[in-house]
Structure 1
Amino acid sequence: MASNRKGAGGASSKGYMLLAVLLLVIAAGAYGLHRWTKNTNHSAGVKPGAVQQLEKVKTVSKPQESYDVIVAGTDPEGVAAAVSAAKNGQRTLLVDGHNREILGGLMTLGWLNSLDMNYGPGEGVLHQRELLNKGLFSAWYSQIEGDSFDVVTAANAFNKMVAAEKNIDVLLKVKSMEPVVEKGDTASLVKGMKLTLEDGSEVTVSAKSVIDATQDADIAAAAGVPYTTGREDLGDKKSRMAVTLVFRLKNVTPDVWAKMRQRAEQDNDEGTGSNEMSIWGYKDMKDYPAVNKERIRMRGLNIGRQNDNTILINALQIFGVDGTDPKSKEEAFELAKAELPHVVDHMKKQYPELAGIELDATAPELYVRETRHIQGEYRLSIVDVLENRDQWDRVAFGSYPVDIQRMSPADTGAVVTVPKQYAVPFRSIVPLKVDGLLVVGRAASYDSLPHGTARVIPVGMAAAEAAGAAAKIAADGKMTFRQMAANKESIAALHETLKKQGMALDSYTLKPEPFMEHKAYEGLKVAVTLGLATGGYNNDFGLDGKSNQQRFVNQLEGFRKFKPAALTGSPAGALAKGSDPKSLPLTLDTAAHMIALLVKAEAGAENAVSVLTERGLLKAETLEAIANKDELTNGDTYLLIRDVYNAVKAES
């Protein structure tokens, strides 16, 4: 469910608002419904269960002086890493610096009780596609109600997995966690953690390796790992995806639930639907008139059922929130709680079946989608996802849509592409400049666009399971994780270990997508990388569609933010006067004039092509490939942008 699993607080950044104009508006994006339902069978095995009592997590009051592995963070990825390490004979400390009493983090305390699943590319048996993420994720998934679940069931399932491992000590409610770092000439080494316990006492715990499973790579950042923030790699550091406060409604009896399902099914839209535990619909909630219009928006409802006649709703989006700043997050809580009574009142008036619902509670923790993106030995790129690439050191597979949630109230969000299957490499959890540390979860080494798919929980748990197993292999081989990442024998051993734990990590080859065989594909790759093109749920990038003057100006303005010092001119100066530029075809001469203005080359429409060619900003082969120079297509414009991008990048 694309909207259910993605990154962090949005800012109403002018740059990204401009970029939003460039994105193709997809129906699901416009409605705010991003649940992935195509070619999947969500109803298999999905059913409500009995209300469970929350089980107490067995913890230690004080950790031992040393462990083989310390896992920081009790989100699903932390649980997977700790259990995997313990299964491989590693004495493991699972520690958390939030005021948590249960395991599961985002799923159980952020109340994000609907999963973004990854399915294989084939049809599968009885049209039910195979889950890509096996191993510990599947072991946990088999214990819950389905793709949406009761949060108590989920917390108990996480607890059972941890409690079954004799090699794990759990330590909760520490007041602070800091890495113990030994500085080196070429790389620092994490040697353990300094912890301030709940009673205020301080202890230093040594470890052969540390796995950072915090949501925001807090340990990695403190240890000196380089990272980007939000959309920084797209030239907009301040923009981040909206944060959400999940809220709970009561009085949702089986009869009310049946009526809600009926409404979702009657919407007759590919982006709406339901099963016994989930509803993704009520798309016109996007039109809710927010009281706080500058900071709050609603989108179509993603609804997860609980076992006690309550439901959890993931739909309230809050903008301008820094997920790494406690004060900013506290402000987000206050904004959301002030807005929610109005939201619920609107729902009761708008939908007859909801007339008797009441606001019951809000999640203890915010659902923050995006903060830091660490720099690792490999940075997963959007082209990796676009081309369904395998990786030799694969540790996880994904296929969830690249779902980019709103950055500001004016934004609609977008689905960049829908992969069939891509691999996450081990190198993407090995940070630069720091040894003795692995980073798993949404803050791993992914560019911000592929983060839109790779940040989902099943992918994170798979990579975390690999991290736990890797700790044993690195220790036995007396090597760093960086050395291990370059050693094919060690990666082969890791694959063998993970397969024994039930993971599926076979290599694969998929035939190229149709858009990859288009003559403009090299241009499309650059346009997608720059955030200037989206294909939606159908991977339709409109390469043969006609461009227009306004669209190309918008694209060039979006392009500017990558090299603002080199692209200082105004391409809008070439727009025809007295007509609607959206209705005017884009000629090659006009397009070249716009580029010339952007780079401040002295040229007019009559000679811009030759001037730009002489300067190496346009290639002769690109010009020859344009079939109709009086009416450029989207594909043609992407090729022009590719030429300018490559030339400007080479000059810098």
Structure 2
Amino acid sequence: LRGLNLSRQDDGSLLVNALLLFGVEGADPLSLERKRVEAALEAERVVAYLRGKDPLLFGTAHLAGVAPSLYIRESRHLKALYRLKAEEVLLGRTFPDAVALGGYPLDGQVYFPGETPYLLGTPAPYGVPFRSLVPRELRNLLVVSQAAGFDSAAAFSARVVPLQMALGEAAGVAAALLRKAPQAGLTKVPLADFHELAASGQALEALRKRLAQRGARLSSPEGGRVEVERPGYREAVVLLRRGLFAGPYYLKGSLGLSEPVLLGDFLANLEHYYRAKGPEERLRVVLKARELFREELQKPLKRLTLNQLLQALGEGRLSGADPVTRGEAALLLYRLLP
């Protein structure tokens, strides 16, 4: 059970988004159905828990039903003509064939029970290229969903419904353009398939023009801050793509390499890696550090604390003055998390 997302309906009922299910195979119908049944049973226990926890608010609550299908946050991703990358999302990259804008935070849900939730940062507004909807090996299909051509970490942001609605509209307009449908209101261009559309500057211009006429936002005056010259940039990008470079909400559109790294963010990166890859001994060290320093998790990481942690992990000390920057953290994490 995670934090409750509650939505009160006009009839007085509440929609609750709170359960996390692990071990689901998103492409296996039997796995999906088993987990849906498991979720329905767990929902009964959740309602009973809420009644006992807050009788004033939930004292008369009962379970009215559960969703007919699971929300699969992530499973397979399309091998598209273009794969949207995590740093392009965070740093607000634009594309000449962008057909929608995104900007939702790169929030990473947990992959294991008991894992610490984490955030990779808040993007500057970024464009999603039309090519990310076009399969490499199928020429007459567009894919719009969490399964489109996104890197796993990029999908932390690009998965959300508002952006997918915009991409769905773009796909529909593109299909109308390809069929030369009069209702599309677009210049006729002789195109055989979506690969040709993606390669045609004239067709893409017509597509973007039509989307803009329909009210789509395809650009933003806001931009990200690229720090390619700062130490740790290359390492930070590699870590970000792997979901291992956590950052606070306030670092919008930036890797923040010159900013202090927060203790909680640094430990989160280690925890996510060691839970997935091991060794167990290092995970225990990280979890113990979270417990010992829980009052300091949202504060800049002190070099003394870092060196105590490194010593417990069997690593050498990191010299220098406080605070430990995110650039230094990137260089260190890149070495610690191969």
Aligned ranges 1:136-147 → 2 under 5 Å: none
Q: 1:381: Cα distance to partner?
A: 0.8
Q: 1:459: Cα distance to partner?
A: 1.1
From the two aligned structures, give the one with the greater helix fraction: 2
Does structure 2 conserve the Cα–Cα contact (< 8 Å) formed by 1:547 and 1:585?
Answer: no
Does structure 2 conserve the Cα–Cα contact (< 8 Å) formed by 1:303 and 1:314?
Answer: yes
1:434 counterpart = 2:146: no
Alignment-derived partner of residue 239 in structure 2 = 527
Alignment-derived partner of residue 59 in structure 2 = 355
Q: Aligned equivalents of 2:241 and 2:41: distance in 1?
A: 38
1:537 counterpart = 2:249: yes
TM-score, structure 1 length as denominator? 0.41
Alignment-derived partner of residue 482 in structure 1 = 195
TM-score, structure 2 length as denominator? 0.75
Relative to structure 1, is the Cα distance of residues 480 and 524 closer, same or farther in structure 2, using a 3 angstrom cutoff? same
Aligned ranges 1:172-191 → 2 under 5 Å: none
Relative to structure 1, is the Cα distance of residues 628 and 491 closer, same or farther in structure 2, using a 3 angstrom cutoff? same
1:406 counterpart = 2:88: no
Alignment-derived partner of residue 5 in structure 2 = 302
Letter of the 1:303 counterpart: L
Letter of the 1:423 counterpart: G
- Which SS does the other structure have where 1:458 is aligned? helix
Does structure 2 conserve the Cα–Cα contact (< 8 Å) formed by 1:391 and 1:425?
Answer: yes
Letter of the 1:482 counterpart: H
Alignment-derived partner of residue 14 in structure 2 = 311
1:492 counterpart = 2:205: yes
Alignment-derived partner of residue 300 in structure 2 = none
Equivalent of 2:215 in 499, 502, 508: 502
Letter of the 2:273 counterpart: G
Letter of the 2:81 counterpart: E
Letter of the 2:19 counterpart: L
Relative to structure 1, is the Cα distance of residues 559 and 525 closer, same or farther in structure 2, using a 3 angstrom cutoff? farther
- Which SS does the other structure have where 2:124 is aligned? coil
Q: Aligned equivalents of 2:129 and 2:332: distance in 1?
A: 32
Aligned ranges 1:86-235 → 2 under 5 Å: none
Relative to structure 1, is the Cα distance of residues 584 and 365 closer, same or farther in structure 2, using a 3 angstrom cutoff? closer
Q: Aligned equivalents of 2:210 and 2:167: distance in 1?
A: 13
Aligned ranges 1:346-385 → 2 under 5 Å: 346-351=49-54, 352-385=56-89
CA RMSD of aligned residues (A): 3.9
Q: Aligned equivalents of 1:366 and 1:643: distance in 2?
A: 38
Q: 1:398: Cα distance to partner?
A: 0.9
Relative to structure 1, is the Cα distance of residues 320 and 522 closer, same or farther in structure 2, using a 3 angstrom cutoff? same
Alignment-derived partner of residue 41 in structure 2 = 338
Q: 1:428: Cα distance to partner?
A: 0.3
Q: Aligned equivalents of 2:214 and 2:38: distance in 1?
A: 44
Relative to structure 1, is the Cα distance of residues 450 and 557 closer, same or farther in structure 2, using a 3 angstrom cutoff? closer
Relative to structure 1, is the Cα distance of residues 362 and 521 closer, same or farther in structure 2, using a 3 angstrom cutoff? same
Q: Aligned equivalents of 1:387 and 1:333: distance in 2?
A: 37
Deviations 1:145-198 (A, max 9, x none): xxxxxxxxxxxxxxxxxxxxxxxxxxxxxxxxxxxxxxxxxxxxxxxxxxxxxx
Identity among equivalent pairs (%): 33
Letter of the 1:499 counterpart: A
Q: Aligned equivalents of 2:261 and 2:157: distance in 1?
A: 29
Letter of the 1:558 counterpart: Y
Alignment-derived partner of residue 639 in structure 1 = 331
Q: Aligned equivalents of 1:555 and 1:543: distance in 2?
A: 20
Relative to structure 1, is the Cα distance of residues 344 and 488 closer, same or farther in structure 2, using a 3 angstrom cutoff? same
Residue ranges of structure 2 left out of the alignment (5+ in a row): 180-188, 294-303
Letter of the 1:387 counterpart: L
Does structure 2 conserve the Cα–Cα contact (< 8 Å) formed by 1:586 and 1:630?
Answer: no
- Which SS does the other structure have where 1:395 is aligned? strand
Q: Aligned equivalents of 2:139 and 2:229: distance in 1?
A: 41
Deviations 1:301-324 (A, max 9, x none): 111122222111111222111122
Relative to structure 1, is the Cα distance of residues 468 and 358 closer, same or farther in structure 2, using a 3 angstrom cutoff? same
Deviations 1:473-504 (A, max 9, x none): 33442332112212211110111222233323
From the two aligned structures, give the one with the greater strand fraction: 1
Does structure 2 conserve the Cα–Cα contact (< 8 Å) formed by 1:401 and 1:453?
Answer: yes
Relative to structure 1, is the Cα distance of residues 384 and 440 closer, same or farther in structure 2, using a 3 angstrom cutoff? same
Letter of the 2:45 counterpart: H
Q: Aligned equivalents of 2:88 and 2:130: distance in 1?
A: 14
Relative to structure 1, is the Cα distance of residues 325 and 556 closer, same or farther in structure 2, using a 3 angstrom cutoff? closer
Relative to structure 1, is the Cα distance of residues 403 and 481 closer, same or farther in structure 2, using a 3 angstrom cutoff? same
1:390 counterpart = 2:94: yes
Q: 1:384: Cα distance to partner?
A: 0.7
Q: Aligned equivalents of 1:299 and 1:496: distance in 2?
A: 42
1:466 counterpart = 2:170: yes
Alignment-derived partner of residue 297 in structure 2 = none
- Give the number of equivalent residue pairs: 303
Q: Aligned equivalents of 1:323 and 1:556: distance in 2?
A: 25
- Which SS does the other structure have where 1:309 is aligned? coil
Q: 1:366: Cα distance to partner?
A: 1.8
Alignment-derived partner of residue 320 in structure 2 = 628
Does structure 2 conserve the Cα–Cα contact (< 8 Å) formed by 1:407 and 1:413?
Answer: no
